[in-house]
Amino acid sequence: MSQSVALTATPAEGAPQTHDSHGAHGHCHVHHLTLGSLFFTTDHKGIARQYLYSSFFFLALGGLMAMLMRWQLGFPNQPIPFIGKFIPEPFVVDGVISPSFFNMLVTMHATIMIFLVVMPILIGCFGNFIIPLSVGAPDMAFPLLNEFSYYVWFLSAAIMFCSLFVHGGGPNSGWTSYAPLSAVEAYNATKQGQSLWCLGIFFNGLASIMGAVNYITTAINMRAPGMTMFRLPLSVWALLITSILLLLAIPVLSAAGALLWFDLNAGTSFFIASRGGDPVLWQHLFWFFGHPEVYILILPAMGLVSEIMPVFARKPIFGYKAMIIALVSIAFLGFIVWGHHMFISGMSLFASAVFSATTMVIAVPSAIKVFNWMGTIWGGSIRFKSPMLFALGFVFSFMVGGFTGIAMAATPVDIFVHHTYYIVAHFHYVLFGGKYLWHVRRHLLLVP
């Protein structure tokens, strides 16, 4: 634990060291872990561990799905070695992945990785673990709500998992579930799976909202005396901003998921053009959530990098306040760029131009963060320990992701790179950097 305390207690601009001693002598110790506390606990570190361990299962599942996809792409229509035998027809015919099963893999790989792996680990696990320790609070503001939020998340995960085994198979209209493909049974042939996807997303959203309320309250209200906002470690700032994004963006997705469920099951037509709805409305709702979501996934990782680098460069973070301003402006701008996912969707061409401009603007704070990280290692006394190597790897991979983003934010270029592997590569570079990090933090903090 001593290592973790050293990390989370990195003082920003001479913050008092009170939470350091708190971390060592607080009431919640890792060695109190019992079998019972694995299943029910209100201790923030216990809940962090619950999120982590449950996510491992989905990490393996989502990773396996990615490997199945890569197998089909690398060796088209060849039988899958070994596990091909265990997947029943009609998903796999003679060991070969069927087209609709491939679509299902695409859909569930993304859904699982985003909602059941990256979010619970970066926010559910690290948020719970780090925030109370870093702000000097005895626990989260609402410990019981915290555990309840975990179980609602677990319910959503269970629903998602079950959707793989219902009649017709899992949802297969992509993680973006573009209507009307997702909204009409005749088009997707997986009404049950798609309905469960909507339910899973709905409950996942509920859990996120509960978590977000908890994080925001803790970070703002439960700080130790003397721990002003501008002494908070950047990881807490990042998690706070992420929680605000969650609170504002997730309800839109939950509502959209509910509307889609009604379209599928109750004969409504919010998104079905042939019955008077508008398919592009779904895209607006989805991406109004979807773009802040990108920052929800990446900001906690940026926060962690901003904390790891000073520790291993043995000097304070370069431009602490600039980093916070960058975080806040990313969060604000993140809500007015969603249309850049829709340049070729048939949306107004003028709106596309406006969204392109706001997207270019949001690249500025991201650039500021990279420059400040460079400033942090400048003149340092750098130790090349695993966390530092991972943080540097994050900068590399985030820069590749960010720079390709500039090309596709230019509307004319997006006309022909949209829907291609250029986009797939772009967001995997962005998110993979984030995923890198939990690896190292797990080693340092969480394996008892």
- The interface with other proteins within residues 16-55 (CB under 8 A) comprises none
Q: Is 168 in the site for other proteins (CB under 8 A)?
A: no
Structure tokens at 194: 């798609």
User: CA 59, CA 221: separation in Å to the nearest integer?
Assistant: 34
Shortest Å distance, C-beta 416 to other proteins: 4
Alpha-carbon distance of 193 to 191, in angstroms, equals 6
Residue pair 339/285 in contact (Cβ under 8 Å)? The answer is no
φ, ψ of residue 79 in degrees (nearest 5):
-60, 140
Beta bridge partners of 96: 93
Stretch of 3-11, 35-43, 61-69, 360-368 contacting other proteins, by CB under 8 A: 360-368
In the bound state with other proteins, the residue whose beta carbon lies nearer, of 89 and 447, is: 89
* Spatial separation of the C-alpha atoms in residues 372 and 320, rounded to whole Å: 9
What residues pair up with 262 in beta bridges, in sequence order? none
**Residues 265-294 interacting with other proteins (rule: CB under 8 A):** 273-274, 278-280
Assess contact for 212 and 246: CB atoms under 8 A. Answer: yes
Least Å from the CB of residue 178 to other proteins: 6
In angstroms, what is the minimal distance from the CB of 22 to other proteins?
A: 25
Min. distance of Cβ 121 from other proteins in angstroms?
27
CB 288 within 8 A of CB 337: no
Q: 62 to 91, contacts with other proteins by CB under 8 A?
A: 76-78
CB count within 10 Å of CB 115 equals 24
b/e map of 333-366 (b: 16 or more CB within 10 Å)?
bbebbbbbbbbeeebeeeebeebbebbeebbebb
Measured from the CB atom, the residue of 418 and 442 that comes closer to other proteins is: 418
Nearer to other proteins, 102 or 262 (CB): 102
Choose the binding region for other proteins from 46-54, 168-176, 290-298, 331-339 (rule: CB under 8 A): 168-176
The residue type of 408 is M
| Least distance (Å) between residue 275 CB and other proteins | 10
Question: Residue count at the site for other proteins (CB under 8 A)?
Answer: 83
Residue number with CB closer to other proteins (44 or 109): 109
Residue 11 makes CB contacts below 8 A (sequence gap 6+) with: 17, 231, 316
Q: Could you say which of 4, 55, 128, 172 contacts other proteins (CB under 8 A)?
A: 172
Structure-block tokens of residue 276: 């008077």
Minimum CB separation of residue 26 from other proteins in Å reads 29
Minimum distance from CB of 245 to other proteins (Å)? 22
Which of the stretches 20-28, 108-116, 255-263, 347-355 binds other proteins when contact is defined by CB under 8 A? 347-355
List Cβ neighbours of 440 (8 Å cut-off, separation of 6 or more). 308, 386, 387, 390
Q: Which of positions 289-328 make contact with other proteins (CB under 8 A)?
A: 313-322
Using CA atoms, how far apart are residues 97 and 175, in angstroms rounded to an integer? 19
Query: Rule CB under 8 A: which of 393-432 touch other proteins?
Result: 395-396, 399-400, 403-404, 406-407, 410-413, 415-416, 418-420
Q: How far is the CB of 309 from other proteins (least distance, A)?
A: 11
Query: What is the per-residue burial (b if ≥16 Cβ within 10 Å, else e) of 290-326?
Result: bbbbbbbbbbbbbbbbbbbbbbbbebebbbbebbbeb
- Select from 28, 63, 87, 102 the one that contacts other proteins (CB under 8 A): 102
Query: Does residue 222 belong to the site contacting other proteins (CB under 8 A)?
Result: no
What tokens does 41 get? 């606990």
Name the minimum Å distance from CB 144 to other proteins: 40
Task: Please list every residue from 179 through 208 that binds other proteins, using CB under 8 A.
Answer: 180-181, 184, 187-189
Q: Which residue among 36, 99, 225, 267 contacts other proteins (CB under 8 A)? A: 99
Choose which of 383, 424, 439, 448 interacts with other proteins (CB under 8 A). 383
Specify the stretch interacting with other proteins by CB under 8 A; choose among 62-70, 94-102, 202-210, 241-249. 94-102
Provide the terminal-to-terminal Cα distance of the chain, rounded to the nearest Å.
9
Are the beta carbons of 254 and 206 closer than 8 angstroms? yes
Q: How far is the CB of 293 from other proteins (least distance, A)?
A: 19
Look at strands 92-93 and 96-97 and give their pairing: antiparallel
User: Rule CB under 8 A: which of 363-382 touch other proteins?
Assistant: 363-364, 367-368, 370-372, 374-375, 377-382
Nearer to other proteins, 145 or 181 (CB): 181
Closest CA to 272 of 186, 168, 160, 172: 186
Residue appearing with tokens 């003082």: 11
- Residue 110 interacting with other proteins (CB under 8 A): no
Which of 204, 356, 436, 444 contacts other proteins by CB under 8 A? 356
Residue whose CB is less far from other proteins, 32 or 383: 383
